[in-house]
Structure 1
């Protein structure tokens, strides 16, 4: 047995199996407990057998565990940061030793911008509120926190423990405007403003918020690049960066994109969040909460499967969050049986869904410029009228069983002709050059659907001139919107009859067309107290697919069955007798 030890890294066994890179990963499991002042026996029940249980049951590509939560206390005996009050042994060593020997990647749940302990101990590290008081949660992205605490601690984790990476929580969405002297002085120097504005509508407000967004980007790039320099194999993911919270091009060397969607109304949350990630050009995953925030109760396996299906059908990876107790042990080891069932469901479909890409049909515009102008927060979708209308439109489009992508300016500029329909939902501002590009798209046989008075005002000249363009305004998301979609799409790529509550996603994987069908029936928007214990199957479904030529066969996966195909009028039609939760029709040309 040969061991190799590199300077600055933990001793590793040369016979250890290789661990999968996050970019290649499909399935994970997440644990955290946000250690605090009450945690004085961390590690007491953390054993190799406990970690082995997780791996044996779930068989994950990676595990994420608590390291430093929002409260700022570390759940391992750090020599760099702020350790929890008491430890029994070193629980992180246990997790790392077992995952290393089993070839499972280990990531840290690490709270970034949000660190209550750091700002309490160092008020000068905090973002300053408009009233001049230090924020009691958020550090300043312009301050010394990253260089003084965050980067040294991530290097400790990479070097002393050899963990594979960090999933940085409380980062973009935790960032707030900062009225500290350093931020205000820098802003005034850059813009010529005499002082920082205090609220929306005041002079320089848009520049003020954009200044902070760029401040976060610089902070993110800085700590990612610093870790790349010292530990090139350390993989960083910043929770919700470049996602529905932050709809813009990826501008940092992150290992992937990720987020934990809403613990309740999770199906609708996953539908939205996944479509904001799938076209970003970076590997991505989404995380379910395994329990309801509303009831605090564990979700049944079938409820998590339905949530997972929405993610897998968009080509993403999947993980689920389970709690640790206040000493860091699993809250309930029996919960691993639930995740094991979900994992088997996902693995059966992996070969037919992971890294698939959408077939262009409807582009639903999530305007970066429009959103950042009206959002009350730096990085979040809540409170944005454009996003509100967008999500209403998304639900209606999916209910009418069309394929749809959520795309921003950086996806669409120069590429609008790829989509037969572009929907502009409620945005009151678009950059002039992009607005003009959309107008040209409509003059060139593209169909531009406007929802609400705000987009109609942006295209007032074109609508008033009644030129030969395909700009169709509707007042709101209602039956008129559905009628317009039917008019402009004609015969869509896929038509499904037999049930309405089926999300339809035409995808391409390894050159082959596949139709992803997810049963979205049930009370997922407002689950009962005990969670969703059953999703009733739907069917039979008649599925008609527009193709250039008759296929050799159409297989339903993961069932592995060939369906009888009828070919007429350039469409292949099959009957799926029953849709349980998630099946994929693979077209063999």
Structure 2
């Protein structure tokens, strides 16, 4: 009601006159006003009550409202792209008449209302399929009218929907607000897909007087994580009540955000990760983990313990989707299958083909109980865990006690690298290796990377031992003595290596208010990352080694035994070591 004139036209003209792309924001899932007028378009709970502001894409809302609105925007404003919000994370199981009827038609069952009801998994899969169809049809309609119009859907094909992106989606995107802890995992996943991506964080925090810029070091830490992992940074600011801009916050963009990004742009864009390890992130397992939730695309938080361990160990990892696994598109020497909730027959077959092709795999936790995988790792499964038990393991003449769930097995070709004793003194394999030719199948019989409060304890010595044996330091592409709070990312473009060092030290953290239920954090006093040594595997001696964005040659380096040995000075947030080699490729 406070808007005067055609705001879309105003911003379109400003963008055109300034030589910028004009992209339209459209929330296609949380239109509260239209839901009041047309309650039949809302998602309905099993009890017959509506969800709060969640559209059902099988209700007819797309045909009657969303698509005509998109066409009107295209005709009147000719946007260069659409950024669609409010859909993927609002898709809960819907019990409207149309959803119930489709399920009965396809499955011959009434719509299940609880996870224990017959057809629950199938009902959730139907809801996922409805969403996939909506995204594809929406994208196709836009491309039919304007093939060059860019389409992105917030959080579609993200960790909550770990599927192969629809081919006509132009880029992947997600808004994380103020959650620096999860940015790295999200960036790794998007970087492993076949599309460009960006991640968005707010440039503001909320205080007693309204919105104020974040501390510069906080937003620079967020930006560094995103761009080091191959993404573009998307700055999130809220307009004023009259669709204007905050001068204070946009001066902050000019002073703290743009210079940081522009100084690093040359060394980040169009590069590819060179991973030390690959981590399977399966849609089948992900959806099985979230099976009891009404959310059709549940959060991907359960993998964070794994990714955090790999980051702290300075193991530069890629994430592998079902699609890439089945295509055997694995670009590192080691594939990790971490405590999967489900391995379907196609993935089990792909794992067997991968190992048969001289691959190395590390399977942990529940992975052993699925189709043929005990045979793959050379073990005979005696019994599944019945719960957490007390165990003792000895490493280098030191005993470690722990409480966890352990599969009881006996070797059927595998060698036992570590054993564990139960309270009765009975000994069982804890960590094994099965070699056939050049292939290696490693197995940790406990949920090695799982959250302790959910699965049990894992002694640090066991974790270190498994990682050392699975990927020995001398075989890694990057080895460093940097603190575990420094994230290490190796990327390449043609004859260039780019080693990114990102200081993820927590600094001082204070709670700040937000417009959502969870509080924001204000991060200050991030300590300087100390001087460190890095060792990078390289096929040839570099022509030059430089520190960027400073633009200075690094003098303290040498090339020995096929590795670049360099001392990196202390740095504040993000340091890039740029190495130009005489030959292309980093293998």
Q: TM-score by structure 2 length?
A: 0.80
Q: Which residue of 2 aligns with 1:76?
A: none
Pairing 1:176–2:92 present = yes
Q: Which residue of 1 aligns with 2:129?
A: 214
| 1:105-504 aligned within 5 A | 105-193=21-109, 195-251=110-166, 253-261=168-176, 263-264=177-178, 266-292=179-205, 298-330=213-245, 332-340=246-254, 341-375=256-290, 376-382=293-299, 387-388=301-302, 390-415=303-328, 418-442=331-355, 445-452=358-365, 454-458=366-370, 459-461=373-375, 462=377, 463-464=379-380, 465-467=412-414, 468-469=434-435, 470-473=441-444, 474-477=446-449, 478=458, 479=460, 480-490=462-472, 491=474, 492-504=476-488
User: Is the 8 Å Cα contact of residues 320 and 330 (structure 2) preserved in structure 1?
Assistant: no
User: Is the 8 Å Cα contact of residues 277 and 335 (structure 2) preserved in structure 1?
Assistant: yes
- The structure carrying a bigger strand percent of its residues is 2
Unpaired stretches in structure 2, ≥5 consecutive residues: 381-411, 415-433, 436-440, 450-457, 513-520, 582-587
Q: Which residue of 1 aligns with 2:585?
A: none
Per the TM alignment, residue 216 of structure 1 is displaced from its structure 2 partner at its CA by 0.4
Structure 1 residues 239 and 124, CA gap change in structure 2 (3 angstroms):
same
Per the TM alignment, residue 513 of structure 1 is displaced from its structure 2 partner at its CA by 1.9
Q: Which residue of 2 aligns with 1:81?
A: none
CA distance in 2, matches of 1:210, 1:317: 32
CA distance in 1, matches of 2:151, 2:66: 13
Per the TM alignment, residue 417 of structure 1 is displaced from its structure 2 partner at its CA by 5.6
- CA deviation digits over 1:304-333, x for unaligned, max 9? 111011110111111111112222222x31
Structure 1 residues 381 and 308, CA gap change in structure 2 (3 angstroms):
farther
Per the TM alignment, residue 444 of structure 1 is displaced from its structure 2 partner at its CA by 5.4
Per the TM alignment, residue 168 of structure 1 is displaced from its structure 2 partner at its CA by 0.7
- CA deviation digits over 1:187-222, x for unaligned, max 9? 2222232x1111213211111111110100111111
- CA deviation digits over 1:508-548, x for unaligned, max 9? 12342221111111238x54558223432222111111112
- CA deviation digits over 1:453-503, x for unaligned, max 9? x22333344432244342221433342223211222112101112433211
Instruction: State the secondary structure of the residue aligned to 1:337.
Output: helix
- CA deviation digits over 1:108-154, x for unaligned, max 9? 22111222111211112122221123334112111221122212222
CA distance in 2, matches of 1:349, 1:139: 41
Per the TM alignment, residue 373 of structure 1 is displaced from its structure 2 partner at its CA by 2.2
Structure 1 residues 528 and 212, CA gap change in structure 2 (3 angstroms):
closer
Instruction: State the secondary structure of the residue aligned to 2:204.
Output: coil
Structure 1 residues 363 and 293, CA gap change in structure 2 (3 angstroms):
farther
Q: Which residue of 2 aligns with 1:6?
A: none
Instruction: State the secondary structure of the residue aligned to 1:281.
Output: coil
- CA deviation digits over 1:358-409, x for unaligned, max 9? 1132111211111112312545443x6xx42x21011111011110112211
CA distance in 2, matches of 1:485, 1:154: 51
Pairing 1:104–2:20 present = yes
> 433-442 or 153-162, which moves further after superposition?
433-442
Unpaired stretches in structure 1, ≥5 consecutive residues: 1-39, 43-87
CA distance in 2, matches of 1:346, 1:246: 29
Aligned positions, number: 495
Instruction: State the secondary structure of the residue aligned to 1:232.
Output: coil
Q: Which residue of 1 aligns with 2:538?
A: 547
Q: Which residue of 1 aligns with 2:515?
A: none
- CA deviation digits over 1:170-196, x for unaligned, max 9? 111112222122222222222232x11
User: Is the 8 Å Cα contact of residues 285 and 316 (structure 1) preserved in structure 2?
Assistant: yes
Tell me which of the two structures has the higher relative contact order, counting C-alpha pairs closer than 8 angstroms and 6 or more residues apart: 1
Q: TM-score by structure 1 length?
A: 0.79
Per the TM alignment, residue 293 of structure 1 is displaced from its structure 2 partner at its CA by 7.2
User: Is the 8 Å Cα contact of residues 352 and 509 (structure 1) preserved in structure 2?
Assistant: no
Q: Which residue of 2 aligns with 1:60?
A: none
> 574-583 or 409-418, which moves further after superposition?
409-418
Root-mean-square deviation over aligned CA pairs = 2.2
Q: Which residue of 1 aligns with 2:418?
A: none
Q: Which residue of 1 aligns with 2:399?
A: none
> 310-319 or 421-430, which moves further after superposition?
421-430
